[in-house]
Amino acid sequence: MENNELLKEVTAKAQVWLGEGYDTETRAEVKRMLDADDKTELIESFYKDLEFGTGGLRGIMGAGTNRMNIYTVGSATQGLANYLKEAFKDLPEIKVVVGHDVRNNSRKFAEIVADIFSANGIKVYLFDSFRPTPELSFAIRHLGCQSGVNITASHNPKEYNGYKAYWEDGAQVLFPHDVNIIDHVNRIKSIEDVKFNGDKSKIEIIGEQIDADFLAAVKGLSLSPDVIERHKDLKIVYTPIHGTGVKLVPESLKNYGFTNIIHVPEQDIPSGDFPTVDSPNPENPSAMAMAIAKAKEVEADLVVASDPDADRIGCVIRDAHGEYVLVNGNQIVMILLNYLITRNAELGLLKGNEYVVKTIVTTETIKSIADKNNVKMFDCYTGFKWIAQVIRDEENTMRYLGGGEESYGFLAETFCRDKDSVSAISLMAEVLAWAKDKGMDFMQMLQDIYIKYGFSKEAGISVVRPGKTGADEIQAMMKNFRENPPKTLGGSEVIRIKDYSALTEKDVKSGEIAKLDMPATSNVLQYFTADGYKVSVRPSGTEPKIKFYIEVKGTMETNADYDKANTDGEVKIEHVKKDLGIA
């Protein structure tokens, strides 16, 4: 489309937003963009509609069809309400839970969502203020609701907000409900179709009682209360990074029995501006800097963090040299699953029908841990809605022990169906107490896992290719990897290739092709080598990038071998990157 045609189109769309159906503030903002000499902001705000995808909405806040605002949120909610009334037409009353995080406008959006649901005759439980995402999932199940909405953009930059839709099992929506909701949202063609005038009699404010019920359920996950009692004074630094975790994480740690929880006061302040960090993502060392500084000051045993909506966990431990080092997402899942399996075995609770879940891009060391303990392991696609699906499929036949993904998410329970930093942080502290009781520090315990189950080193690399040309380049890269797969990676021969878009697994030597048992197709390629290396390649579904997940293997016979194994792993990863052409 020529620039003049594009400008004409966005101008026409913007002028609709000057109508009486829009509030004064919005009309003024749109008029400012229309009158500006530089039309960049106008084009960015209106050149497309913010799409309601399989997970909901996410975008920059502001006026316009391509922005998060009361009108795009309103249209999404009206579409969801229409589908709920169709899907649950036989119920005497449809019920939903609405929650939100600390971001700017989150409360405003949540109240509008509640109003629209209520105007459509739907009963709404609205949290009295911000809450962790996992508590919303819990509340949907606990209150017997059919759906829920959380206003959050997770750990995105402060300019963003988002809208996550949940189904009656407390998980984010999956097929067929995701596509049906999208269809109903797309049917909303005018703001006049949205019922903004709420029915306050159908909105019930919830808060403290759900907090208490959720925290009691989390406390029920503890497997080592006696061990905690012996090590209750462990120094634990916790930061919510200005987010919702401040509501429940410290309280949960206290419930578990820990008495020495050290805060980072500046980051206890809830703020959608996230003033002390560049990015509120606990994966990033910079986001953990203040907590690490506090840990050095008090000589802490453990540093833990949650992201703004408190579903992801960050973790820092002391290495053999006394330095504070980040635990990566793969290691978090590995540590927690190893503890849950081992502790269940110690307590005589393993009956042979237990299982764990990981995503296909998460470390294969977890499979080694599960196999050697006779625990079944399921692989699923990236995203906790897929882990929730496994739980749903198996809940009447097997016992779930835990599941997680390399992107710093873990779920230890079934009363919630989304990743949960509240329970994960509480259990991580319990793991440390358990290790201490065995005469180990955290690093020694991690090293012992590697000695017993094999050493692995992982790296995630994102190659960014913005714009339409970038999207075409990413598509070409995936096509090339399919048609010309690497023969070796890091000096190790590729022996198996999985293609999840075709749901096939190829034995490279024999040429035999087997069918992959997955619930849907996905644009993911995986290469497995003779030395146990794994490389996964997939385009991002939300950003202009292609992602590579690299896992290499090594050996450790004693704790003293850790540094060398780690260094060797880094060298192997660099070789793999060169073979992939991304070094």
Q: How far apart are CA 415 and CA 218, in angstroms?
A: 9
As beta bridge partners, residue 318 has 324
Closest CA to 203 of 137, 119, 123: 123
Write down the residue that tokens 């040309």 correspond to: 469
The answer to whether the Cα torsion of 523, 529, 534, 535 is positive or negative is negative
β-partners of residue 162 are 58
Give 184's contacts (C-beta < 8 A, 6+ positions apart): 79, 80, 82, 83, 86
Token pair for residue 305?
A: 């963090």
Q: Residue 487 in 3-state DSSP?
A: coil
Nearest residue to 580 via CA among 541, 551, 537, 540: 537
Residue with tokens 């635990």: 327
In this structure, are residues 143 and 163 in contact, taking their beta carbons and an 8 Å threshold?
no
Within 10 Å of residue 345's Cβ, how many Cβ atoms? 14
Residues, the chain: 583
Long-range Cβ contacts of 15-22 (<8 Å, 24+ apart)? 17/63, 17/64, 17/71, 21/190, 21/191, 21/192, 22/71, 22/191
Q: Which two tokens stand for residue 335?
A: 């540590």
Alpha-carbon gap, residue 577 to 528, rounded angstroms: 15
Residues annotated catalytic, as ranges: 154
Question: Residue 515, Cβ neighbours under 10 Å: how many?
Answer: 9
What is the distance between the alpha carbons of residues 288 and 241, in angstroms, rounded to a whole number? 8
- Measured over the CA atoms of residue 383, residue 389, residue 394 and residue 395, the dihedral's sign is positive
- Cα–Cα distance between 550 and 582 in angstroms, integer? 12
Pairing status of strand 95-100 against strand 354-359 = unpaired
- Cβ(417)–Cβ(326) below 8 Å: no
